[in-house]
């Protein structure tokens, strides 16, 4: 009788093992999905009520768009150099003026009185100077006459002294007569020196006095000229050629000294004033280029000046034309300007949309390839221009995202598209 043979179990992976493993993986996947879905909030959304855009790879053109207003290249403000009452208005607002044209005439009685007083004081000082000159000449003549008489007396005394000396040596006159003649001569010598010194001193004093008077007279003459200039300043004149853009004056109105009464627009060229959001204040600088389209033509601008003051979250810039100007350009016209901040660069691009207001560019709804739903995904947004946001990370080219506003989506993590 043959013995039964022991059957050994086959070792290795059998088909049923593969089936078990696949079933286990599917079970775990379904379990994880169920757990995950239980924590995900969703909302059904009509696809035709949202905007879906495709993420693109392309050139990011770094520019901003703003409104610009045409203004004259320069504006000269008219201030009243002298106060007064408006007597005449010779040129009306809006008229073209030439440099030196009288725009209006002021009347000021005080200026007339100041001129009369200055002229009277000047005349008095001139008369006094004239009389002083006459007195000086007379005193000079008297001094010369006195010096001449003294000189003749000295000659006589000298001659008498020499005669007495000779006679005394011959013992023909007494010693007393000789000494008397000698003393008279020596006295006149000293007197002559005193008269000369006195004449010099008197001349110096009178010359100094005359110079002082002449300087005072010059100052009074200059003062009179200044007062007369005040009279001329009552005629308010155009300082440059241009257009009288504003005139705040009426007949009979009192205008104070230094008060602004108008402005002249210099129309030899134009500039464009634009307001920029303060967010760009560190990027906008002098020399940046800009363009705008008008009458199917493109016109080029350059930033000439950046104002540092920020008002109402905006700062001002002035732009000037670098070549041609539009036809029939007028002050007050508005142009839509593209201000170039940097050179184009290859980037991921997402179209502008209302989603940014809700997310701040930190996340976005990404549509699943099936097109059935969209889920949240964290992203990072860089720069923006009037058309696109620059995507720094979180998206891939070709993916589709919801760019319209998220205000009605709440905090749902998943949108079911229908």
Distance separating the N- and C-terminal Cα atoms of the chain: 78
- Burial class from Cβ neighbours inside 10 Å (0-12, 13-18, 19+) for residue 364 reads buried
Residue 252, sorted as left (phi over 0), alpha (psi -120 to 50) or beta, turns out to be left
CB of 263 within 8 A of CB of 75? yes
Residue 291 pairs in a beta bridge with 300, 338
- Rounded to 5 degrees, φ, ψ at 410 are 60, -145
Query: What is the rounded distance in angstroms from the CA atom of residue 14 to the CA atom of residue 20?
Result: 10
pLDDT at 1: 44
Query: What is the rounded distance in angstroms from the CA atom of residue 87 to the CA atom of residue 107?
Result: 6
CA distances (Å), origin 319, targets 20, 272, 279, 316, 333? 76, 5, 19, 10, 14
Query: What is the rounded distance in angstroms from the CA atom of residue 215 to the CA atom of residue 96?
Result: 45
Q: Which CATH number fits domain 63-69+265-340: 3.60.150.10, 3.60.110.10, 3.40.50.140, 2.40.30.170?
A: 2.40.30.170
CA distances (Å), origin 336, targets 259, 275, 304, 314? 36, 12, 18, 17
Task: Summarize pLDDT for 278-302 with one digit per residue, the tens.
Answer: 988 999 999 999 999 988 889 999 9
Domain coordinates of the chain in residue numbers?
Answer: 39-61+345-417, 63-69+265-340, 110-233
Helix axes 109-169, 175-233, angle to 10 degrees: 170
CA distances (Å), origin 20, targets 15, 17, 25, 29, 34? 9, 5, 9, 14, 21
CB of 43 within 8 A of CB of 320? no
Write the CB contacts of 253 (distance below 8 Å, at least 6 apart in sequence).
85, 86
Give the residues of the chain that fall short of pLDDT 50: 1-2, 38
Write the CB contacts of 335 (distance below 8 Å, at least 6 apart in sequence).
67, 68, 70, 272, 292, 294
Query: What is the rounded distance in angstroms from the CA atom of residue 370 to the CA atom of residue 414?
Result: 14
Query: Which of 256, 266, 237 shows the shortest CA–CA distance to 104?
Result: 237
pLDDT at 28: 66
Length, in residues, of the chain: 418
pLDDT at 169: 84
CB of 60 within 8 A of CB of 390? yes
Residue 42 pairs in a beta bridge with 414
The DSSP call for residue 327 is T
39-61+345-417: CATH class: mainly beta
Q: Using alpha carbons only, how large is the chain's radius of gyration in Å?
A: 53
* Intrachain domains 39-61+345-417 and 63-69+265-340 with the same fold: no
Write the CB contacts of 295 (distance below 8 Å, at least 6 apart in sequence).
326, 327
């Amino acid at each position: 009788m043959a013995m039964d043979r022991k059957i050994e179990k086959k070792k290795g992976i059998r088909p049923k093992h593969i089936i078990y493993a696949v079933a286990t993986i599917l079970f775990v996947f379904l379990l994880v999905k169920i757990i995950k879905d239980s924590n995900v909030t969703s909302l059904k959304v009509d696809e035709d009520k949202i905007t879906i855009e495709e993420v693109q790879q392309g050139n990011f053109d770094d520019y901003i768009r703003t409104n610009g207003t045409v203004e004259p290249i320069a504006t000269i403000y008219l201030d009243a150099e002298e106060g007064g009452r408006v007597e005449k208005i010779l040129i009306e607002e809006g008229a073209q003026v030439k440099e030196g044209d009288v725009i209006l005439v002021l009347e000021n009685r005080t200026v007339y009185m100041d001129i009369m007083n200055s002229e009277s004081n000047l005349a008095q000082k001139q008369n006094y100077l004239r009389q002083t000159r006459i007195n000086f000449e007379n005193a000079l003549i008297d001094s010369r006459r006195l010096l001449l008489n003294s000189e003749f007396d000295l000659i006589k005394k000298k001659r008498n002294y020499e005669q007495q000396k000779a006679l005394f040596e011959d013992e023909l006159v007494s010693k007393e007569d000789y000494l008397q003649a000698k003393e008279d001569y020596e006295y006149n010598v000293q007197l002559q020196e005193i008269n000369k010194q006195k004449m010099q001193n008197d001349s110096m004093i009178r010359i100094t006095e005359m110079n002082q008077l002449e300087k005072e007279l010059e100052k009074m003459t200059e003062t009179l000229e200044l007062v007369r200039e005040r009279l001329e300043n009552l005629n308010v004149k155009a300082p440059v050629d241009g257009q009288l853009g504003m005139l705040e004056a009426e007949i009979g109105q009192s205008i104070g000294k230094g008060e602004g009464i108008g402005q002249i627009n210099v129309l030899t060229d134009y500039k464009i004033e634009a307001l920029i959001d303060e967010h760009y204040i560190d990027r906008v600088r002098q020399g940046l280029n800009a363009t705008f389209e008008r009458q199917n033509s493109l016109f080029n601008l350059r930033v000439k000046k950046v104002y540092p003051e920020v008002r109402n979250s905006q700062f001002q810039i002035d732009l000037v034309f670098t070549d041609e100007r539009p036809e029939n350009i007028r002050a007050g016209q508005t142009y839509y300007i593209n201000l170039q901040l940097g050179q184009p660069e290859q980037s991921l691009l997402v179209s502008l949309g209302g989603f940014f207001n809700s997310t701040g560019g930190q996340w976005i709804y990404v549509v699943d390839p099936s097109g059935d739903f969209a889920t949240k995904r964290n992203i990072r947004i860089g720069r923006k221009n009037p058309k696109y946001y620059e995507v720094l990370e979180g998206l891939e080219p070709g993916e589709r995202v919801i760019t319209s506003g998220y205000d009605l989506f709440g905090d749902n993590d998943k949108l079911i598209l229908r």
